[in-house]
Amino acid sequence: MPHLTQVRTPFHRLLLLAVVTIVAPMPLIAAEPIEIHHSPIENLERLDVALIDEAETSLDVAGYILTDRPVIDALILAKERGVILRILLDPSQKSDFVRLAPLKEEIRLKRKGPIMHLKAYVVDGERLRTGSANLTASGLKQQDNDRLVISVPSVVAAFRADFERMWTKAVPIARARSGDAAP
């Protein structure tokens, strides 16, 4: 490509400048590190199912409550295709443990104490889904909520570190009935 000073006519300089101005920022637009979506304008359930379906290696889920059937079904399918799942839930909420039964080995409950109010998960250690939308049908489709998908490595790493801290302190659902936490 000729240098701007090598283009001799003012028209061609202006045309080259216009092309560079339009084309140069395109990769930044195509690869935004943060996506934001809002319900009820958008169906966040469909977006979450699609994102879970993209998981190839791992999903770490921290949910205040988990009752949305399509999301649970997507998690079950992820496990069936070999994705390593870890699901951390708050014991104060009534998650759908019957529907979650195929995932019981992958579920832990936070110990009693302050609530765990997250609605977040990390896909393949690279993308963080977070926001105000609970993983319930009403939270994903009816209420005014937001959902962000963040692909900033330092942000994802910070969440992963916090998830590890919570996961190691949490109680496997099988032991939860012993009194450490309660479904």
Q: What is the CATH number of the domain that holds 147?
A: 3.30.870.10
**26 band by pLDDT with thresholds 50, 70 and 90:** very low
Q: Determine which of 14-18, 71-75, 149-153, 156-160 has the lowest per-residue pLDDT on average.
A: 14-18
Q: Where are the beta strands (DSSP E) in the chain?
A: 34-39, 58-63, 84-89, 107-109, 119-123, 127-131, 145-150, 171-172
Question: Are 13 and 46 in a shared domain?
Answer: no
Q: What is the rounded CA–CA span in Å between residue 23 and residue 159? A: 34
Residue with the bigger pLDDT between 25 and 100: it is: 100
Q: Report residue 9's pLDDT band, with 50, 70 and 90 as the boundaries.
A: low
DSSP 113: S
CA-to-CA distance for 65 and 70, rounded, in angstroms?
A: 14
Compute the residue count for the chain: 183
Residues 1 and 56 in one domain: no
- Closest alpha carbon to 49 in 82, 80, 76: 76
Query: Over 50: is that where the pLDDT of 41 sits?
Result: yes
Q: Which domain holds residue 166?
A: 32-180
Mean pLDDT of 13-18: 50
Whether residue 48 contacts residue 118, with contact meaning beta carbons closer than 8 Å, is answered with: no
Whether residue 143 sits in one domain with residue 126: yes
User: What is the DSSP secondary structure assignment for residue 178, as one 8-state letter?
Assistant: I
